[in-house]
Amino acid sequence: MPIAERTWFVNRVIKEVKKSYKDAQEQEAMPLTRAAHDNSATQRELAGLSRNEVPARLRRFT
């Protein structure tokens, strides 16, 4: 990826993050993020992100 595109992309991401924080503060709500505190087993299961079984390529037998 050319340097000009990379700088444009980084600046755009920064601008969008700042805008989301500003919007969240105006609405007195938390900004939408995927932080570690929302990564518990029950939260993942409710969101449909949990697995019953690990994929075969990720199983390790030691």
CA distance 50 to 52: 7
Cα 29–chain centre separation: 17
pTM given for the model: 0.45
At residue 46's C-alpha, the angle toward residues 17 and 19, to 5°, is 10
Please check the confidence at residue 7 and state whether its pLDDT lies above 80. yes
Is the Cβ–Cβ distance between 20 and 32 less than 8 Å? yes
What is the number of domains present in the chain? 1
**pLDDT score for 38:** 65
Is the Cβ–Cβ distance between 44 and 50 less than 8 Å? yes
* pLDDT tens, residue by residue, 9-50: 999 999 998 888 888 777 776 656 656 666 777 777 887 877
**pLDDT score for 35:** 64
Give the domain range for residue 14. 3-58
**pLDDT score for 56:** 85
CA distance 14 to 4: 16
